[in-house]
Amino acid sequence: MAINLKGRSFLKLLDFTQREIYYLLDLSKQLKEAKYAGTEQKPLTGKSVALLFQKDSTRTRCAFDVGAFELGMHPVYLGPSGSQMGKKESIEDTAKVLGRMFDGIQFRGFKQQDVELLAKYSGVPVWNGLTDQWHPTQMLADIMTIQEAKDIRNMDGIKLVYFGDSRFNMANSYMVVCAKLGMHFVGCAPKELWPDEELLINCQEIAKENGGSITMTTDYKTAAIDADAIATDVWVSMGEDSSVWGNRIKELTPYQVNMEKMRQGKKEVIFLHCLPSFHDDQTEVAKSVIKDFGGNGELEVTNEVFNSSYSKVFEEAENRLHTIKAVMLATIRG
Ligand code: CP
Ligand code: NVA
């Protein structure tokens, strides 16, 4: 049966089949090639999308905005302080209003429940641009980056090793996408930062059906062995209190991605990070961490790895655009 995602919301990858994920990845590749060749069309001309952001963003915001423009649409950005949503108007009412004006809605915020409510009441496709629980558009970009780096389409058997906080949006999403695509996911973190048990078991079952595996370990000395891709994320995510920094640094320092870990991977191993990343002292947050806890600002990854030939983080960032365009196109036009 042909795949048609018209009218579907993109809230989490658990809702999508392996075939549908590959469909979106193939479409992303076509859109990227068309952009590079200068043969892009504007297939969604005359349509408008709302971009709701309760949290900060560079990549996701720009990818939705530029992506909407490149598809022919008009994007409207609503920031944390720019709308009535949540303050004077419920999510349900906001959804009903926006659904009458827009052809699609992007939401980045805290609660997964909010993006689910927008989808339930707006009547138009809603795209999750990150919640505390999931970051599904990021996963398409990450998989696309691995496909390009290895010149493959089929992700079966590819081993992705993730170091760091494993109970938030990035690790949750990696577990699901790896399970769906029959990959081998190894999450490496102290037990206090392991994923929700129910999600872990669910992902293990999905992975098994697809010939993959989902494993958690605390063994940071050997987890990276034979990895095809090594990924990490910030140790303190948006919305978390800055008072957790001290503990996180203590807990996660052994899990920092460094050259020793990268060298344990396969010869062609790549490094991924959704960004922004703490790898130097060039940011306000890094400076404040250095002031309070010492160090040189290298947290989840060393500057050496971040800037090495292993690192595909800027390819990954660019792929946010192509994959987000695919999600908008597939769910609005079908
Ligand atoms: N990776 C990512 O979502 O980046 P932004 O927070 O800049 O959107
Ligand atoms: N876990 C991070 C991801 C940022 C793209 C956060 O939620 O802040």
Mean pLDDT of 145-149: 99
- Ligand 1 atom closest to the Cα of residue 108 is 8
54-111, pLDDT tens digit by residue? 999 999 999 999 999 999 999 999 999 989 998 999 999 999 999 999 999 999 999 9
184 catalytic? Reply is: no
pLDDT at 116 over 90: yes
For the four alpha carbons of 204, 208, 211 and 213, in that order, the dihedral sign comes to: positive
DSSP single-letter state for residue 244: G
CA 333 → CA 3, 7, 125, 308, distances in Å?
12, 8, 11, 40
Domains of the chain: residue spans and CATH: 13-134+318-332 (3.40.50.1370), 143-313 (3.40.50.1370)
Residues flagged as binding site for L-ornithine: 169, 233, 237-238
pTM over 0.95: yes
- E strand or H helix at 5: none
Ligand 1 centroid distance, CA of 209 (Å): 31
* Residue 237 beta carbon below 6 angstroms from any ligand 2 atom: yes
Say if CB 275 and CB 317 are below 8 A apart. yes
